[in-house]
Amino acid sequence: MVFVIAWIVQFAGHKIEGKKPSFLEDLQFLLIGPAWLMVKIYRSLGIPI
């Protein structure tokens, strides 16, 4: 539930700024978060990257 509210607030902020979210322009920005999370998980499990 908090995730949904955070997304709504984020898009409201973009609307106020008048800027589009950067991940709409470049898919790379959308993939940075999951990639960062996978690195954290791998390191915590002792899996070499």
1-42 pLDDT, tens digit each: 888 899 899 889 888 988 877 766 777 877 888 899 999 999
Is the pTM of the predicted complex or chain greater than 0.85? Answer: no
Which residues, other chains included, contact 43 with Cβ-Cβ below 8 Å and sequence gap of 6+?
49
13: tokens are 């902020």
Burial of 20 (0-12, 13-18, 19+ CB in 10 A): exposed
17: tokens are 């700024």
Cα–Cα distance, 22 to 30 (Å, whole number): 8
